[in-house]
Amino acid sequence: MTFRPPRLSRMPALRSTEVFGVAVVLGFLVVALIGPALAPYSPLAIDLAHEFELPSLRHWCGTTDNGVDILSVLLHGARLSGVVAIGTVGASLLIGAALGTFAGYRGGRVDHVVTGLCDLVQAFPSIVLNVSMLALTAEPGLFQLLLALIAHGWVLFARVARSNALVLRDAEFVLAARALGVSEWGVLSRHVLPNLAGPLVVQATAALGTAVLAESTLSFLGLGPGAAASWGALLDQGSAVLLRFPHVALIAGGTIALNVYAANRAGDFLRDYLDPRG
């Protein structure tokens, strides 16, 4: 047994992988915003003379089917992934946090209903629920994709918000505020919600990665919004020509893996930073 002195500084030691994760997540968001403007070619531009080329100065990441520039597909795909990630996580966070806080804070019957709903949705594996929802729409587009992802995504946030609200409800400082005559709404907005923000933000950061992965997986399976360039669809193309042109699948999959990894590390970083006790 070695003796460890208690850590005195509030700021946790920075880990290089976590800094890397945060940097990649921020970079991803910037690319999602301006990526399409940076793309050297159109993700639809056909150049049959240069199909499946290895990376070169002309095409930094090489080309794929029909001579389409891979880098341009990646940059445009970042926009789709970004929109899906922000949209899914944002809406899931709002719905989940509202339901979860309400359930945990109120308790009783409301709590039973919300928890039951969470159990019910989680009885369906995410991909299965997503696919069966998309199967029933005439043309699965971006909106339907978002709807399907949110239908499963809110549960995580509801659970986190509920378990934290449950503890906060009976915390001493909340009881004190109530005893001082602060209104119910005041207690909720000034004392409970700010304390919920930390765990929810941590969860949301990691969920960005999950959403990117979900969009890629659905696109990989051929269920993505057809018109837009997507990392998952590129990986699917690459897998079809894996034997002769492995670079397509390697680059597309690497991009997806990098972003999922980064979001995980960024979530860990925020957890350390926002909750020094943990």
Partner 1 sequence: MWPLARYLTARLLRALLTVFGVVTLVFLLVHAIPGDPVQAMLGDQSSAEDRLALRRALRLDQPLLDQYALFCGDILSGSLGHSFRNQMRSVASLIWEVAPDTLALALAAMLVALAVALPLGTLAAVRRGSRWDELASSLALLGIAIPNIWLGPLLVLLFGVWLRVLPMPGDDASWAALVLPALTLGAALSAILTRQTRAALLEVLTEPYIRAARGRGIGEFTLVVHHAMRNALLPVLTVAGAQLGALLSGAVVAEKIFERRGIGSLFLEAFFDRDIPVVQGCTLCVALFYVSVNLGVDLLYGVIDPRVRFS
Interacting residues toward partner 1 by CB under 8 A: 116, 119-120, 123-129, 131-138, 144, 147, 213, 216-217, 220-223, 232, 235, 238-239, 242-243, 246, 249-250, 252-254, 256-257, 260-261, 264
**Angle, CA 123 vertex, CA 121 and CA 124 arms, to 5°:** 75
Instruction: Select 102 or 220, whichever has its Cβ closest to partner 1.
Output: 220
Kind and range of the H or E element at 231? helix 231-240
Using CA atoms, how far residue 77 sits from 90, 119, 134, 254, in Å, is 19, 33, 20, 14
Instruction: At 264, list the tokens.
Output: 């995980």
Neighbours of 56 (CB within 10 A): 11
Instruction: Select 60 or 124, whichever has its Cβ closest to partner 1.
Output: 124
Contact criterion met (CB below 8 Å) for 180 and 241: no
User: What distance in Å separates the CA atoms of residue 104 and residue 161, rounded to the nearest whole number?
Assistant: 7
* In the complex, least distance from residue 60 CB atom to partner 1, rounded to whole angstroms: 20
Q: Which DSSP symbol is given to 5?
A: P
Instruction: Select 165 or 233, whichever has its Cβ closest to partner 1.
Output: 233
User: What distance in Å separates the CA atoms of residue 236 and residue 107, rounded to the nearest whole number?
Assistant: 46
Amino acid symbol at 96:
G
Instruction: Select 145 or 196, whichever has its Cβ closest to partner 1.
Output: 145
Instruction: Select 116 or 194, whichever has its Cβ closest to partner 1.
Output: 116
* In the complex, least distance from residue 273 CB atom to partner 1, rounded to whole angstroms: 19
User: What distance in Å separates the CA atoms of residue 255 and residue 250, rounded to the nearest whole number?
Assistant: 9
* In the complex, least distance from residue 265 CB atom to partner 1, rounded to whole angstroms: 8
* In the complex, least distance from residue 141 CB atom to partner 1, rounded to whole angstroms: 10
Instruction: Select 45 or 250, whichever has its Cβ closest to partner 1.
Output: 250
Instruction: Select 42 or 122, whichever has its Cβ closest to partner 1.
Output: 122
Contact criterion met (CB below 8 Å) for 147 and 130: no
Query: Euclidean distance between the first and final Cα of the chain, in Å?
Result: 21
* In the complex, least distance from residue 127 CB atom to partner 1, rounded to whole angstroms: 4
User: What distance in Å separates the CA atoms of residue 54 and residue 52, rounded to the nearest whole number?
Assistant: 7
* In the complex, least distance from residue 187 CB atom to partner 1, rounded to whole angstroms: 29
Instruction: At 232, list the tokens.
Output: 């998952």
* In the complex, least distance from residue 142 CB atom to partner 1, rounded to whole angstroms: 14
